[in-house]
Amino acid sequence: MSVGMKSVTDRLRDSGLLRTQGLIGGKWIDAYDGKTLEVHNPATGEVIANVSCMGGKETKDAISSAFDAFNSWSKLTAAERSKGLRKWYDLLMAHKEELGQLITLEQGKPLKEAVGEVDYGAKFIEFYAEEAKRVYGEIIPATLPDRRLFVLKQPVGVAGAITPWNFPLAMITRKVGPALACGCTVVVKPSEFTPLTALAAAELALQAGIPPGVVNVVMGNAPDIGDALLTSPQVRKITFTGSTAVGKKLMAGAAGTVKKVSLELGGNAPCIVFDDADLNVAVNGALAAKFRNSGQTCVCANRVLVQEGIYEKFADAFSKAVKNLKVGDGFGEGVVQGPLINKAALEKVETFVEDAVSKGAKVLLGGRRHSLGMTFYEPTVLSNVKSEMLVSREEVFGPVAPLLCFKTEEEAIHMANDTNAGLAAYIFTNNLQRTWRVSEALEYGLVGVNEGLISTEVAPFGGVKQSGLGREGSKYGMDEFLEKEGACSTAFELYFEDGLE
Ligand code: SIN
């Protein structure tokens, strides 16, 4: 282990945040067969820790714990649940630096961005601590004079939360925050690549006084854990962020026990730059939308569509800006582009670039593995990209910006919508009418206008078409963990029938 990494892990161990066992019913537990899996630092390949490699049996026990805890957690007052969440938020913020370091260690994103993720992730807990108190029902005008009809919102039950490696904290808090606020309990399955942040966050939940069994964490054998969550009748909700392929399997699997499902799946975000855009705003916005987390987010711009009148100028200014992005180990000074998560991700990026070049795309910048080795890839700009190339059809999930040229607004809208995905889109224009027209014509769940960073805890996040179901964040994120129970009661005697009117 390098000196740098050892000092970071020592500090995390000292603060009790370097957890390596699963959390079931408030107890830290090894895999029942003693198996472990290695967690690597993608920047160096070093092993950070060995964590319990769990499967179906441990997941079943985690579900039982969550099921038992649901009885009491769901019966607390909203104010009591809110207090626990608020305390958890305070602890996440108090450990912002260490959590940021942990994210950089296991995920690779630059430290500043990792600390930014802690801020972003913690805000979901703060927001839902507040939202817990606003689960309002409704009174419906009754159809008979002596009856009253009302809608009572009830927590759905135990939720299984399956989360990805690209945001090791924020994708957990965005799910667990609203779940707990509504009175649900959870079994979290973090990615095998980045379980350490999840475990540290769970440790802080315990320290915040969130009762044992309310938050459980199991990681290891993904198919076995997934099966246990899907087949259990005690699990009433599956919430997932990850690939569209896995999302479809989960949706099919959840049908067996008719669970509520929310899915935040892959995107193929168009970033449309019109002739009338402010060049600087467009370059900076596209840069942020494309190169956040080295291109490894579902909302990253996947295709940059540029109108012919501004194409050359934009390509030039954008390439210059991309050239300045410093690549390296996320702990390095001034680094803004870390490694890709693993070899498979690197090979995918390579294949996509090779496919584009073989079909006529021109490499303006980058286009190959970085000299740093490992899974580093050079920030890349491709021009002369066409809609039929792999980089246009599928999510590249890496630091590659393909530029496509268009002539008219109609053509841009057609190109943008010509995909099964519908998560995020971006437009750059100074024309107000166009802003409304194009935003509304885009078949996407999120549209950024003259803005490349659009994620926030206060706005709904989610996709249309094959990018998913449901919304996370904002007040709408609560609906995913609530059932609407309709109730009818005989309200009172009808006095006027007795002449007492
Ligand atoms: C994701 O990549 O799935 C999440 C991105 C975000 O929250 O901004």
* Residue in 109, 119, 167 to alter for ligand 1 test, most ligand atoms within 8 A of Cβ: 167
**What are 131-154's pLDDT values in tens digits?**
999 999 999 999 999 999 999 999
Non-local CB neighbours of 214 within 8 Å, separated by 6+ positions: 66, 69, 73, 180, 185, 186, 205
Q: Identify the residue whose C-alpha is closest to ligand 1 atom 6.
A: 455
Residue 6 is predicted with a pLDDT of 82
The answer to whether the beta carbons of residues 92 and 121 sit under 8 Å apart is yes
Q: State which ligand 1 atom lies nearest to the alpha carbon of 296.
A: 2
Whole-angstrom Cα distance, residue 108 to residue 463? 26
Q: Which two tokens stand for residue 206?
A: 């315990």
| CA–centroid distance, residue 141 to ligand 1 (Å) | 41
The answer to whether residue 7 scores a pLDDT higher than 90 is no
Q: Which two tokens stand for residue 392?
A: 């246009």
Of 59, 78, 496, which Cα lies nearest the Cα of 235? Answer: 59
Catalytic site includes residue 113:
no
Q: Which pTM was predicted? A: 0.96
Q: What percent of the chain has pLDDT over 70?
A: 97
| CA–centroid distance, residue 299 to ligand 1 (Å) | 6
| CA–centroid distance, residue 264 to ligand 1 (Å) | 9
Q: Which two tokens stand for residue 104?
A: 């950089």
Return the minimum-mean-pLDDT range out of 1-5, 55-59, 320-324.
Answer: 1-5
**What are 305-347's pLDDT values in tens digits?**
999 999 999 999 999 999 999 999 999 999 999 999 999 999 9
* Cα radius of gyration rounded to whole Å, the chain: 24
Of 466, 446, 139, which Cα lies nearest the Cα of 271? Answer: 446
**What are 180-209's pLDDT values in tens digits?**
999 999 999 999 999 999 999 999 999 999
Element (H, E) at 36: strand 36-40
The answer to whether residue 22 scores a pLDDT higher than 50 is yes
Half-sphere exposure of 128 (CA within 13 A, CB side): 33
Residue 211 is predicted with a pLDDT of 98
Residue 494 is predicted with a pLDDT of 58
Q: Identify the residue whose C-alpha is closest to ligand 1 atom 3.
A: 298
The answer to whether residue 286 scores a pLDDT higher than 80 is yes
| Mean pLDDT, the chain, whole residue set | 96
Query: 184, 298, 300, 405: which is the annotated catalytic residue?
Result: 298
Catalytic site includes residue 410:
no
Residues lining ligand 1, CB < 6 A?
166-167, 170, 241, 264, 297-299, 455
In this structure, which amino acid lies at residue 162? I
| CA–centroid distance, residue 67 to ligand 1 (Å) | 29
Residue 500 is predicted with a pLDDT of 45
